[in-house]
Chain A
Amino acid sequence: MPRIRNLSFNGRRLSLLGGSTIIAGTFFVGLAAAQTPSGAPADQAAGGTALNGASLDYFPRDHLFRILGKDVLSAKGEDMGRIVDVLFDEKGEPHAAVIDFGGFLGVGSRKIAISWSALRFDLGEKKNAIALDLDREQLKAAPEYKSAESDKPIPVVAQPQPAPHEPAADPSR
């Protein structure tokens, strides 16, 4: 999938958490205050020399999370599927999340790209899920996202806007 960029934010340092062989995107959601956490390992100070000048920060576990495989819930709490991919634009900003929608035991599901702006990450207690400003009725007829169709525009579903809004293809494609 050549068009999916590396999951990292431009101009921000990322701390790589976990040792899983399948590296999912690790997103930075902490506030600026989170950059000076207490309880950082003692070798933090030594990082400057060991990394040849590169700096090293540590973040509390609850400030960063992986996004692949995250459950997506509608405002009504319906199960909307899981995030399986993230699409970025040329500025390095996330533009759409690809979710695996519908089905039973993996039969009958399909991938749908939804606008990044339709996602809400402020679920508070429900750290394991992401909220979506769209419901099943709005998504069920949406066209499938296909990573292999390099010659066609990508359909991205967005939440209703005050002004008329059409799910448009990513302009950079």
Chain B
Amino acid sequence: MTRSLRGLDWLNFFVANFQTGFGPFISVYLTGVGWTQGAIGAALSAGTVAGMVSQVPGGILVDAVRSKRAAAGAAIVAIMASALAIALWPALLPIAVAEVLHAFASSVLGPAIAALSLALVGHSVLGERLGRNARYLAIGNAFAAALMGTFGYYVGERAVFLLTAALGIPALAAIQMISSAHLSSTEVSKTAPTSRPEGTVWSWRFLTDRRLLAYAACASLFQLANAAMLPIAAGMVTKRAGSEASLVIAACIVAPQAVTAAISPRVGRIAEAWGRKPILLLGFGVLPIRGILFAGIADPYVMVLIQFLDGLSAAALGILTPLIVADITRDTGAYTTALGVVGLAIGGGATLSTTAAGLIADHLGSEAAFLGLAAVGVFATLLVAGLMPETRPSGNHSAAMSGASGLPGFSNSAGDP
């Protein structure tokens, strides 16, 4: 079992690279190979649209397939293939296809890892496990940013994509470490429908769950307030810092990852002991503070310090999204489909965020954009406070009510099948 859990750690670590290389960095690479801005925009838009469109189908697919390991493995192979295509064949059609393939594979990989986590540890300690996932993902992200920055600078941008493809191999090895013997509940329930409780035939009924809709709305607003903050802040660093601007921006990217890596396991345990909502409120509440600080502080080095707050939000949302959706869809067999629905809401919020905040920044200045994002953050926090119920299974709810003094995180394991 330890080996399987270690495998999941490493899987999270190595897949982090898959996000870094395909983000804004791809436009740097395509510029370097002589692409026009119009062609780069078209290829990236294809990826963005595919990323949105594939969220729900990706979740449905992971729910439907028997082996979540195979789903994760196939997604990793697809992402490796798209990284190779980008490195070796930088023409419009291959790049657009690679971007779309990467988007679809990512929409499978995320839910597959969440499903594997649930199948490995069960509902009772899922929060703690997701905390570990978030820690290794954050370390992987920081590692990837450092590695790719170095590689891009000294070897060339093409090498970054070859490296991304190569890092898929240890990710596949990590999946191999996860023994299928340890993957209990979810996988079994797929193969043996009789073991599922009555009325859990897969249906879209989970979509009418108010808690899921409320969380999707809150998470979407979170990204609406959050996604544009780093790009606009980084743009201000470019404007205000001298030759060290790139390093300051790198620090702005890595700082929150360090915080997330440090606090995630604790956040996961607290979510089990105290409930989801306090953490959710904390993660959302940090957002307007960050926006106001960014609006008021011009010093590029202080901006790095403000970015530490982002680590708090990232840990909270990174852990609570798969955890709350697992709470809500328990025994429905629709866990990853529901994750896809929330993922679609998050993606929509993020896309709208950069567009809207970019427009505000152009016409009214960066400070106005940050204040606008902060206002959305306030609204999102109020929405969480007013709309979002505690989703932690009621078996240990009473325990949490009576003891705000910090309970051990395992008190609910007795109530778990």
The stretch among B115-123, B191-199, B230-238, B273-281 that forms the contact with chain A is B230-238
Known: A22-B39, A68-B36. A108 touches B23 (CB 8 A): no
A107 touches B241 (CB 8 A): no
Identify which of residues 241-286 in chain B touch chain A, using a CB-to-CB cut-off of 8 Å.
241-243, 245-247, 249-250, 253
| Residues of the B chain whose Cβ atoms lie less than 8 Å from the Cβ of A85 | 36-37
A71 to B106, CA, bound (A): 32
Known: A21-B91, A22-B92. A107 touches B24 (CB 8 A): yes
Known: A68-B36, A105-B148. A137 touches B234 (CB 8 A): no
Bits for A75-111, please: 1 = Cβ < 8 Å to B, else 0: 0001000101100000000000000111111111110
Known: A22-B34, A22-B92, A85-B37. A103 touches B242 (CB 8 A): no
B28 at the interface (CB under 8 A from A): yes
Of all chain A residues, the one with the shortest Cβ separation from B28 is: A106
A102 touches B238 (CB 8 A): yes
Cβ of B157 to closest chain A Cβ, rounded Å: 10
Cβ of B303 to closest chain A Cβ, rounded Å: 11
A82 to B28, CA, bound (A): 9
A68 touches B34 (CB 8 A): yes
B37 touches A106 (CB 8 A): no
B32 at the interface (CB under 8 A from A): yes
| Residues of the B chain whose Cβ atoms lie less than 8 Å from the Cβ of A107 | 23-24, 230-231, 234, 249, 253
A108 touches B245 (CB 8 A): yes
A102 touches B245 (CB 8 A): yes
| Residues of the A chain whose Cβ atoms lie less than 8 Å from the Cβ of B230 | 107
Interface size on A, residues (CB 8 A): 29
| Residues of the A chain whose Cβ atoms lie less than 8 Å from the Cβ of B38 | 1
B34 touches A20 (CB 8 A): yes
B234 touches A140 (CB 8 A): no
B234 touches A103 (CB 8 A): yes
B57 at the interface (CB under 8 A from A): no
Bits for A34-75, please: 1 = Cβ < 8 Å to B, else 0: 000000000000000000000000000000001011000000
Interface size on B, residues (CB 8 A): 43
B1 at the interface (CB under 8 A from A): no
| Residues of the A chain whose Cβ atoms lie less than 8 Å from the Cβ of B32 | 69, 82
| Residues of the B chain whose Cβ atoms lie less than 8 Å from the Cβ of A22 | 33-36, 39, 90-92
Main secondary structure of the interface of A (DSSP, over half): loop
A101 to B243, CA, bound (A): 11
Of all chain B residues, the one with the shortest Cβ separation from A100 is: B31
B148 touches A69 (CB 8 A): no
Contact for B27 among A24, A66, A102, A106, CB less than 8 A: A106
| Residues of the A chain whose Cβ atoms lie less than 8 Å from the Cβ of B27 | 106
A109 to B31, CA, bound (A): 13
B34 touches A136 (CB 8 A): no
A136 to B245, CA, bound (A): 10
A84 touches B37 (CB 8 A): yes
B152 at the interface (CB under 8 A from A): yes
A66 to B35, CA, bound (A): 11
| Residues of the B chain whose Cβ atoms lie less than 8 Å from the Cβ of A15 | none
Of all chain B residues, the one with the shortest Cβ separation from A140 is: B239
Known: A103-B24, A107-B24, A107-B253. 7 other contacts (CB 8 A): A24-B34, A68-B34, A101-B238, A102-B245, A103-B245, A106-B23, A107-B249
Please give me the 3 A-B residue pairs with the lowest Cβ-Cβ distance, nearest first. A108-B234, A106-B24, A102-B238
6 contacts across the A-B interface (CB closer than 8 A): A20-B91, A100-B28, A103-B238, A107-B23, A108-B238, A140-B245
**Contact residues of B with A, CB < 8 Å?**
20, 23-28, 31-39, 90-93, 145, 148-149, 152, 230-231, 233-235, 237-243, 245-247, 249-250, 253, 362
